[in-house]
Homo-oligomer: A and B are copies of this chain.
């Protein structure tokens, strides 16, 4: 029918929803681009809706139409990366994907998460507002994954252990280790590998 010309080739989250108006799509792209910049250079926790609106050249109500707060904008920017990781966990090559023993898969998951945190720390910090972290769909996914690995390895205390094992991946813990403790991503990943081995192999 209507061959819609996709003129927004540089658009971060390219595709626009069916029936979305052209100006809406354009503004959404502007908002996301501006937000990405703002979160990246500055304190991600203190980015305000007004900041984003001004940087995007858009009214504040336009922002509120789609996003309730800065955190959800950061979340939108993170989504594609998280989805990608989820894909690799479900159907990628081992040890991250299926096929490796649970302890190795857990270690690989830790390594992948460290990678994600390292590459997008500002966004992750911006997306984390208090207990909101646990409410994300992503947390539920990590949770289900790790829980399955624990069950597969016949670990004790499966249900209670899951959140304990996910706790070190909290963004501010990572930030603290990187910036206050001057630890490298490799050191952090190594410690998490030790943890995975201790819980799933030893003990």
Residue of B whose beta carbon sits closest to that of A155: B194
Complex Cα–Cα for A194 and B203 (A): 7
Residue of B whose beta carbon sits closest to that of A193: B157
Listed from nearest, the 6 A-B pairs whose CB atoms lie closest are: A202-B202, A198-B203, A160-B191, A198-B198, A202-B203, A167-B167
If A167-B168, A170-B170, A170-B173 touch, whether A160 touches B203 (CB-CB below 8 Å) is: no
Contacts of A188 in B (CB 8 A): 160, 164
**11 extra interface residue pairs, beta carbon distance < 8 Å, beyond A160-B188, A167-B167:** A130-B172, A159-B183, A163-B168, A163-B177, A164-B192, A164-B195, A194-B199, A195-B198, A198-B199, A198-B203, A199-B199
Complex Cα–Cα for A56 and B139 (A): 40
- In the complex, the count of this chain's copies comes to 2
Main secondary structure of the interface of A (DSSP, over half): helix
Complex Cα–Cα for A155 and B194 (A): 9
Contact of A176 with B130 in the complex, beta carbons under 8 Å: no
Complex Cα–Cα for A26 and B49 (A): 42
Q: Which residues of A are in contact with B by a Cβ distance under 8 Å?
A: 45, 130-131, 133-134, 155-157, 159-161, 163-164, 167-168, 170, 172-173, 175-177, 180-181, 183, 187-188, 190-192, 194-195, 197-203
The minimal Cβ–Cβ distance linking A45 to chain B, given in whole angstroms, is 6
Contacts of A194 in B (CB 8 A): 155-157, 161, 199, 203
Q: Can you pick out 14 interface pairs between chain A and chain B where the beta carbons lie within 8 Å of each other?
A: A131-B176, A134-B176, A157-B187, A157-B190, A157-B191, A157-B194, A160-B191, A163-B168, A163-B181, A170-B173, A194-B199, A198-B202, A198-B203, A201-B203
If A198-B198, A201-B202 touch, whether A191 touches B131 (CB-CB below 8 Å) is: no
The minimal Cβ–Cβ distance linking A138 to chain B, given in whole angstroms, is 14
Contacts of A199 in B (CB 8 A): 194-195, 198-199
Complex Cα–Cα for A163 and B183 (A): 11
Contacts of A156 in B (CB 8 A): 194
